[in-house]
Amino acid sequence: MRSIVVFAIGFSLAVAGPAAAVELRPIEVRKGTDGLVPVPLKVSNATSRPIVCMAEIAHWYSAELGRAIAGADAAIGLWRDPSDGAFVALNDSEENLPVERLWCGFEGRSYETRSELMLDRGAPSAARSVVCRESQDRLVCG
């Protein structure tokens, strides 16, 4: 007869400092364009490769806002809240996504080849156009 020995290993998690509880509660998400001003952005791709334009949303999440094949334009729908200067993009549910950074880069390597597009929160709301060109395997938009 064979004997089977089972070892139970226990562990505990030590937390430095006082422990804090996390409260989960619903948050209100602003929807639609009421009170927002449109700030359309046209990005012209003057390279021989496709580009993609991305927005950094909420510090850790990025969302695609537009893409353009070689020689084409991408129309990026941005909105601005005149009360605080914040830029937002809308998702498919028309939820306001705060845009913290905006960049364009070559498709498939957009972050590594990026050219950041400056968002001036203090500037008047107006349509804007930029042209993106290639420089040493990076995108340069201005």
Q: Can you give the pLDDT at residue 10?
A: 46
Give which of 77, 66, 80, 90 is closest to 119, Cα–Cα.
80
Q: Can you give the pLDDT at residue 24?
A: 82
Cα torsion through 133, 74, 55, 132, rounded to 10:
10
Q: Give the contacts of 140 (CB within 8 A, at least 6 positions apart).
A: 115, 132, 133, 134
Q: Can you give the pLDDT at residue 52?
A: 98
CATH of 37-141, one of 3.30.1490, 2.40.30, 2.60.40, 3.30.310: 2.60.40
Query: With a threshold of 0.85, does the pTM exceed it?
Result: no
User: In this predicted structure, which of 17-26, 35-44, 67-76, 112-121 has the lowest mean pLDDT?
Assistant: 17-26
Give the model confidence (pLDDT) of 46-55 as tens digits: 999 999 999 9
At residue 113, the 3 state secondary structure works out as coil
Domain parsing of the chain, residue ranges:
37-141
Give the model confidence (pLDDT) of 59-94 as tens digits: 779 999 999 999 999 999 999 999 999 999 999 999
Give the model confidence (pLDDT) of 96-112 as tens digits: 999 999 999 999 999 99
